Structure 1
């Protein structure tokens, strides 16, 4: 099943922009793409959600939300406080499978980290990925603290027997500090998986045309792009 689950090591680290880059790269290669956001939180009904933002940046993708909650909280908490039904991993798996029947690639963007709860039973994106037998891409920040959170996420993925594809840095700073530069070499070690891309800080503020043209250069061949992890790491770690 052509489903890729995109999660993060936390919130506000570039998951949506990374999802858009993966979508734009796939579209440029002639693939049809659907984007599923199981639970959108902290957005009013009249506001653009993450799936719509992906479509704005990437181009003509099919988008679907399963639930939207107004408060910027974990989905289970937001659902409880709003009085609206929670999303379940089974619903996520069914919607993903349905979209997969008509698209070459389905991108499932989670909310926050891998184990953020969808419902009061503790169902999470990890459970949905297991039901789908899908690969999982982890988006991580570049700077201090990312090694611990990335390794914890990687251990959870492996402990559940999930297919951990690799790590993308969701926002690479224009002037990276020492920790960020050292993390380029250390992240693949602690994750036990390759670096598969680095999006420049502010990528989501580019025009859609500029974003689509640049996106393949931010992602490694494993995600359909041309980004070279070895060359990028060498360029930024020489002299450290």
Structure 2
């Protein structure tokens, strides 16, 4: 039986999908059977009537049926559910995660927004992202930018994870600028404050479709990255 891992951002629009794609391609290269699951996708592209992340996974990675609940409003899941009057059963989502674990070595579950995002609102309270993670028994990987503001975002997200007894395995940085002292110091400081050793630093990709695979080759040429990748995913 495989293992699902939850990928969450420390902020909005920081590149979870790109980082998830990078992990998918890296793990495939190591010979693992991998899939991606996006249980809650909000925000339809009105021009072509597709859901961006799900469409990307299929068109660029060949991962079909990565979605589960799709909601047209570009809001947090709980509000999109209220606006559309959708009926959501979180137990079915948890069951789907376990089904995928039976089929693949590694399941990359991409969240909607950050760790404290509410998924479903009911009269008795909220079903939170943290609840979903614990119901599935998933370790968590953070995705963060490495620029100004990263320290606060990562430390507060990590503190929230600790309060809710969530196992955070590592962190990956997106839009990394190696020549920028702020970026360098942020990563060093975050590790000192949280104990999280960064798995990878991904630069801003000018042409994502072309440059992503080149970036993966660069990462895999680094023995430290390959070793840490195997450690995090027990690959």
TM-score range, shorter chain: 0.7 to 0.9
Residue 181 of structure 1, CA deviation: 2.3
2:184 to 177, 181, 185: 181
Q: 1:72-87 counterparts in 2 under 5 A?
A: 72-86=74-88
The alpha-carbon distance between structure 1 residues 48 and 41, as it changes in their structure 2 partners (threshold 3 A), is closer
Q: Please, what is the CA RMSD of the aligned residues?
A: 2.3
Deviates further, 27-36 or 17-26: 27-36
Q: TM-score, normalised by structure 2?
A: 0.84
Residue 201 of structure 1, CA deviation: 0.5
Aligned counterparts of 1:205 and 1:2: Cα–Cα separation in 2: 28
Aligned residue in 2 for 1:96: 97
Aligned counterparts of 1:212 and 1:48: Cα–Cα separation in 2: 23
2:56 to 44, 53, 56: 53
Residue 146 of structure 1, CA deviation: 1.2
Aligned counterparts of 2:206 and 2:193: Cα–Cα separation in 1: 26
Aligned counterparts of 2:4 and 2:207: Cα–Cα separation in 1: 23
1:4 equivalent in alignment to 2:10? no
Residues 178 and 184, structure 2, Cα contact 8 Å, conserved in 1: no
The alpha-carbon distance between structure 1 residues 51 and 190, as it changes in their structure 2 partners (threshold 3 A), is farther
Residues 187 and 195, structure 1, Cα contact 8 Å, conserved in 2: no
Residue 62 of structure 1, CA deviation: 4.6
Aligned residue in 1 for 2:39: 38
Residue 212 of structure 1, CA deviation: 2.9
Deviates further, 124-133 or 148-157: 124-133
